[in-house]
Structure formats: C-alpha cells, structure tokens
C-alpha cells in the first residue's frame, strides 16, 4: 500500500554544504523546492516555477551519494542492481534547511540528495537534444569561422568553435601561426588522436605510388574517410601550412541535409539508404580493411546519427538482385545530390586555416589543382566525436563552477 506524505521545509537542522552528486558535474540550484510528495514508488517534487518531477525509488537508491553505493572518489556506482531488494520502496522524505532532500528507504538507508542534481536529471517531457543546423550551399556558403589565436588563448572562444563544429558539422579556425606540432596540440585539447593506417598524423601531398586518391592532384568526389572501419572515425582536422596552388578548393556537403531532403522527396530511396547494407574496402597493398553498414545510420527514434558514404571504396554488393537494383538506384540518387552545387560549400584553403569537420556527417572533397603552379602542404589528424562532446560538457562545467565560486 502506498504511503502519501506532503513534506514542507523544516528549519530544525542547520546545514550549509549540499551533498555530493554521483558525478563530477556542477549543478546550480536555480529553482527551489516547494513541496515533496512521497509514495512507495516515487518521490515527486514541486519546484518554485510550478513544474513537477518524479523520481523512481530505484533510481534514487542506486544513485545514493553514500560511500557504499557511490564510490566517494571515482563517483561511480559501487553496487549492482541485484544487490537491491526487488520490492524496495520509499518510506519518507524531508526538505533540509540546506536545500538538500533527505530520503529514507525500506532497506533502512537514509540519503540526502542535491536539489540541483535532482532538477537537472529529472524528466519533464520529451528529452530532445539541441537541434543541429542542417545546411545547403546557399544557407552556409562558408564554414563557421573563428579567430585561431583567440581560440587558443580564450577557453570561451575555443568552446564556441567546438559547439559550431558539433552543430554545423564543420568549423574553421583562421590565422593560426605556422608551427610544427600545433595541429596535434590543438586536437589533444579536445581528446586523444585516433591513429589509422595513414599514421598518427598524415600529410596531404602528391605521392608517386599513392594508396589513396587524396595523394594526387586530381579532383576528389565528396566522401567520408575510413568507411572501411567497423566505426569510421568521427572527426577530421586539416591544418593548412601552405597553399599557393591554383584550384584545389575544399568541397563540403551536409550529408544529414541531403538525407533529410531525400526522406521527404524520395522516401523509397531513403528507405534503401537506411536499410540496405554496403561493404567498403580500402585498396592498399599492405592493409585490407573492410566495413559494412547502410549509407545513412539512424537511431531508435529515426533521427540520423551518421553516414557511411564513399563512392570509390565500395565493394561489390552481395545481395539478391532486387536488393541490388533498389540499392544502386538509391545510392545514385544520394550521389547526385552530393555532387550538386546546391549542396556544396566551396571555399579556398588559406595558410593558417584549421578546418575541423564531422567525418560521419560532412562529406568532403576537393577540386583538382595545378601541382606545378605552387606549393600545397596540409597536415591531417583524426579524432572522435565522443571526445568533442565530452570536451564541450567539461568546458561548460568549468564555466558553471567559475560562475558559482
């Protein structure tokens, strides 16, 4: 039988410090607790802005900040779900003078919870992520661009650059000094470098015996790199050390925009793109990587989460003829859009530019260039999207900590 209790603020206990949270984040207390309603299954909080949040008994219990449940140094959960009673329930709750919420459980534990954490981790309806900005050439003729030296000196500018990279899938630093090792220094401020069969860092230069078309002066069709991997690397960085050649403009396409337009205008092709599996293999003499997946990856809600598209590394499709027929038609339709000027962001690489892009979203290519008409020296490094997202969150955490200190 459920027990229903309305709790009001008690002033019989003086406390100033709020309890720790089961993480290292900073949780501002922007809204005060007005009342608490307790049932055996959940704690319901009414906040000062009138909103209500419900917190399940098991969620509260396994996130208890006590040192047995949450490791006091690692802030990780130190117990497993099977260690809690299946019929565990809440038996009471109080609002402390500090603003912390004290909760008592049927197993005898009483824990105090940080109100900012309870508010920040609560569900208030559909938990929709911040929308990405999808673009065509007319809407985004140039990458979002930031002053390079300022970004290196000012964490706020650096964060703005990272957020633009996340939201637009491409972002540029401009005016960086010519400095050996600078590219890796910048990338490792975000996260670890991902090494590939091209090395820890590569140089886009013309080779006599190239293992990729990137090492030639010819035009390069829009593509993602490393579709031959189980999970293609999420980020790519290109640092322009020198460019006095004619031609060779960068060509970038928002593949998410292409796919969304096809979802609306060509639904039969879109269905093929998210369901029919292609295999990709690299054409090298010393390695043989193979990756498989649909052209467009989606999550359980249907939202696009990545693309695996590279026309020149596709292996022959092994599938029934009817699948091959529809898959080739859909791939052609996607390619026609990717090669259309309507979708292509086209710009010249200038010395001192650092171009960062989401390798699983922004297709990249280039126009051909005159290799005899000047010098072209571009360094490249791969990293992962997870590290980008982590760095954005930790920088924001630091700014929150600074604002409340």
CA distance 272 to 275: 5
pLDDT of residue 376: 80
pLDDT of residue 285: 83
Average pLDDT for the chain: 90
Helix axes 321-338, 255-265, angle to 10 degrees: 120
pLDDT of residue 222 exceeding 80: yes
In the 3-class helix/strand/coil scheme, how is 44-56 assigned residue by residue?
A: EEEECCCCEEEEE
Answer whether 76's CB lies under 8 Å from 33's CB: no
Answer whether 143's CB lies under 8 Å from 174's CB: no
Q: What is the pLDDT of residues 208-220, one digit of tens each?
A: 444 455 445 566 8
SS3 at position 91: strand
Q: What is the pLDDT of residues 238-258, one digit of tens each?
A: 999 988 777 778 999 999 999
Burial class for 393, CB neighbours closer than 10 Å (0-12, 13-18, 19+):
exposed
Question: Higher pLDDT residue, 164 or 16?
Answer: 164
Cα distances (angstroms) measured from residue 372 to each of 84, 246, 350: 71, 9, 18
pLDDT above 90: percentage of residues in the chain: 81
For the segment 59-83, the average pLDDT, to the nearest whole number, is: 96
pLDDT of residue 219: 63
Tokens of 15: 């406390």
Please list, in sequence order, all residues whose beta carbon lies within 8 angstroms of the beta carbon of residue 372, skipping any fewer than 6 positions away: none
CA distance 355 to 251: 12
**Closest of 154, 166, 153 to residue 388, by C-alpha:** 166
Q: What is the pLDDT of residues 167-187, one digit of tens each?
A: 999 999 999 999 999 999 999
List, as one string, the DSSP characters of 145-172. Answer: EEEHHHHHH-HHHHHHHHHHHHHHSEEE
Q: Lowest mean pLDDT of 91-95, 186-190, 221-225, name the range.
A: 221-225
Answer whether 51's CB lies under 8 Å from 148's CB: no
Where does the pLDDT of residue 369 fall: very low under 50, low under 70, confident under 90, or very high at 90 and above?
A: low
For the segment 355-372, the average pLDDT, to the nearest whole number, is: 87
pLDDT of residue 134: 98
Q: What is the pLDDT of residues 290-323, one digit of tens each?
A: 999 999 999 999 999 999 999 999 999 999 999 9
Answer whether 362's CB lies under 8 Å from 185's CB: no
CA distance 196 to 202: 9
pLDDT of residue 205: 65
pLDDT of residue 78: 95
Please list, in sequence order, all residues whose beta carbon lies within 8 angstroms of the beta carbon of residue 139, skipping any fewer than 6 positions away: none
Cα atoms found within 13 Å of the Cα of residue 54, Cβ hemisphere only: 6
pLDDT of residue 13 exceeding 60: no
Where does the pLDDT of residue 346 fall: very low under 50, low under 70, confident under 90, or very high at 90 and above?
A: very high
pLDDT of residue 155: 97
pLDDT of residue 283: 79
Answer whether 217's CB lies under 8 Å from 371's CB: yes
């Amino acid at each position: 039988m459920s027990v229903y209790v309305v709790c009001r603020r008690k002033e019989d206990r003086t406390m100033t410090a709020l309890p720790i949270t089961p993480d290292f984040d900073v949780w501002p207390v922007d809204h005060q607790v007005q009342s608490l309603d307790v049932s055996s299954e959940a704690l319901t909080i009414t906040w000062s802005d009138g909103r209500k949040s419900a917190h399940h008994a098991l969620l509260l219990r396994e996130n208890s900040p006590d040192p047995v449940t949450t490791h006091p140094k690692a802030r990780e959960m130190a117990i497993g779900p099977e260690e809690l009673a299946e019929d565990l329930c809440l038996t009471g709750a109080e609002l402390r003078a500090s603003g912390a919420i004290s909760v008592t459980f049927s197993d005898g534990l009483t824990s105090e919870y940080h109100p900012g954490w309870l508010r920040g981790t609560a569900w208030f309806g559909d938990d929709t992520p911040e929308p990405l900005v999808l673009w065509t050439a007319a809407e985004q003729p140039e990458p979002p661009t930031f002053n390079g030296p300022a970004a290196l000196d000012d964490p706020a500018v650096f964060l703005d650059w990272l957020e633009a990279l996340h939201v637009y899938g491409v972002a540029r630093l401009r005016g960086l000094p010519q400095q050996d090792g600078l590219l890796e220094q910048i990338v490792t401020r975000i996260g670890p470098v991902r090494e590939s069969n091209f090395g820890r860092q590569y140089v886009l230069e013309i080779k006599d015996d190239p293992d990729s078309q990137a090492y030639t002066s010819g035009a390069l069709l829009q593509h993602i790199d490393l579709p031959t991997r189980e999970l293609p690397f999420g980020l790519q960085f290109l640092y322009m050390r020198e460019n006095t050649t004619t031609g060779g403009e960068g060509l970038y396409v928002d593949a998410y925009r292409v796919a969304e337009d096809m979802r609306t205008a060509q639904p039969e092709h879109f269905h093929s793109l998210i369901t029919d599996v292609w295999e990709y293999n690299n054409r090298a003499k010393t390695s043989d990587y193979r990756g498989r997946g649909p052209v467009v990856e989606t999550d359980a809600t249907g939202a696009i989460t990545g693309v695996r598209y590279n026309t020149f590394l596709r292996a022959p499709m092994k599938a029934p003829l009817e699948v091959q027929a529809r898959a080739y038609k859909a791939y052609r339709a996607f390619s026609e859009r990717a090669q259309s000027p309507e979708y292509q962001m086209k710009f010249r690489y200038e010395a001192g530019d650092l171009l960062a892009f989401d390798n699983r979203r922004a297709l990249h290519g280039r126009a051909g260039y005159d290799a005899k008409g000047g010098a072209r020296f571009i360094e490249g490094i791969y990293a992962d999207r997870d590290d980008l997202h982590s760095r954005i969150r930790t920088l924001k955490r630091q700014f929150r900590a600074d604002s409340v200190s």
